[in-house]
A = this chain, B = another copy of it.
Amino acid sequence: MVGGGQLARMTAGAAARLGVSLSVLDPDPGCPAAVGASVVVADVDDLTALVAFGRGVDVVTFDHERIPVELVEALEAEGVAVAPGSASCRFAFDKADSRARLDDLGFPVPRFEIVSDAAGIVGFGDRYGWPVMAKAARGGYDGRGVSVVEPGDEAAAAALLGPVIVVEELVDFDQELAIMVARRPNGDSVTYPLVSTVQSEGMCVEVVCPAAVPAAVADAARRLAVELADAVELVGVMAIELFLVDDELLVNELATRPHNTGHHTIEACVTSQFEQHLRAILDLPLGSTELRAPAAAMRNVVGSPESHEPTERLAEALEVTGAHVHLYGKQPRAGRKLGHVTALGATVDEARSVAERAADRLNGTASPVGERS
């Protein structure tokens, strides 16, 4: 796995269970995945290191998309097995390329243009209305590389996000949804139950499952997910972030890897997204995506400006019965994902209440224990 973050760390857990050996390539020998995988220390844009890494394993996959897609193609040209391959990665590693390709293929996407400067942003805003959403084509994650731009801010936004910028309408959605699909090389695919997500400042903070939508919307999302998996020739898992607007689904972004919107699957589904990704890229039979409980909720644990260590509050969080605490072993830093909490329940509200309570304690945003109102 190229990249040794929390996704690689959780993939390592699934790999150990299946008796599969996982190596990660990461510049940091103490990366989160180091506890469960052997680490090859290298920069993820070092082609020589990537090729050497790829020649020593059965298949190369990815923990994040901050890798030039040209390197994925170069790896394939060197005969290294890569899954998902560059054809899929193009839909996830470059937001401009992805959006244009999805639009060409006829998938429903927000109105957008690909621009390179402030004038391009202004042109789009003046034509379709302000404010606009602007995204760097490459390198963004967790709200980085994404800005809501008001008139007058376009020069600063262009300087921040350039040289290739996706500018799009600010969608007035009813809900943000996500669906995960897994696909094998032979085209077999399975989808997970549709989830509802809450984002704050571009970062996913909460996921609940199943999403509160009409059955027709859930069915449409499943069909869309399978069509997308086929269209991008997916091998692995892919998360599809969606906007729901008046019962219509718009494709916001794709991630061709395990994803924050699938963390709850560790406890909530028969097969976790991490095991499923391994099954898919190793061409093993896909597992059941069935829910094990009527509802599940996931809350992220995110570093605050005070950057306290959530491990210090582990005992308080574990007092919350039914809270499944996951910590990633990362140095605390404001805005950094440090862990998450999942809870199952008879209802979404019940699961959410448990997950929130434990996550608040880890986040240090809970009232002191015993003084909660």
Chain A interface (Cβ < 8 Å from any Cβ of B):
9, 12-13, 15-19, 21-22, 35-37, 270, 279, 283-285, 287-288, 292-293, 310-311, 314-315, 318-319, 321-322, 324-329, 339, 344
Residue A310 contacts which of B12, B19, B283 (CB distance < 8 angstroms)? Answer: B19
Residue A18 contacts which of B12, B279, B325 (CB distance < 8 angstroms)? Answer: B325
Residue A16 contacts which of B12, B21, B284 (CB distance < 8 angstroms)? Answer: B12
Cα distance A270–B311 in the bound complex, in angstroms: 21
Q: Which of A17, A36, A315, A327 has the most CB of B within 10 A?
A: A17
Q: Specify which chain B residues have a CB less than 8 angstroms from the CB of A328 in the assembled complex.
A: 19
**Nearest CB on B from A319, distance (A):** 5
Given the known interface contacts A35-B21, A270-B322, A292-B293, the answer about A314 and B284 at a Cβ–Cβ threshold of 8 Å is yes
Which residue of B has the minimal Cβ distance to A309? Answer: B19
- Copy tally for this chain in the complex stands at 2
Q: Specify which chain B residues have a CB less than 8 angstroms from the CB of A16 in the assembled complex.
A: 9, 12-13, 35-36, 329
Given the known interface contacts A287-B318, A292-B293, the answer about A311 and B36 at a Cβ–Cβ threshold of 8 Å is no
User: Please, could you name 8 A-B residue pairs with CB atoms under 8 Å apart, sorted by A?
Assistant: A12-B16, A13-B17, A13-B36, A18-B325, A22-B35, A270-B321, A284-B318, A285-B318
Q: Specify which chain B residues have a CB less than 8 angstroms from the CB of A12 in the assembled complex.
A: 16, 35-36
**Nearest CB on B from A254, distance (A):** 26
Q: Which of A283, A310, A322 has the most CB of B within 10 A?
A: A322
Cα distance A13–B16 in the bound complex, in angstroms: 8
Q: Specify which chain B residues have a CB less than 8 angstroms from the CB of A319 in the assembled complex.
A: 285
**Nearest CB on B from A19, distance (A):** 3
**Nearest CB on B from A188, distance (A):** 11
A17–B318 touching, CB < 8 Å: no
Cα distance A36–B35 in the bound complex, in angstroms: 5
Q: Specify which chain B residues have a CB less than 8 angstroms from the CB of A270 in the assembled complex.
A: 321-322
A288–B19 touching, CB < 8 Å: no
Cα distance A35–B293 in the bound complex, in angstroms: 31
Which residue of B has the minimal Cβ distance to A34? Answer: B38
Q: Specify which chain B residues have a CB less than 8 angstroms from the CB of A339 in the assembled complex.
A: 19
Cα distance A270–B318 in the bound complex, in angstroms: 12
Q: Specify which chain B residues have a CB less than 8 angstroms from the CB of A13 in the assembled complex.
A: 13, 16-17, 36
Q: Specify which chain B residues have a CB less than 8 angstroms from the CB of A37 in the assembled complex.
A: 35
A326–B17 touching, CB < 8 Å: yes
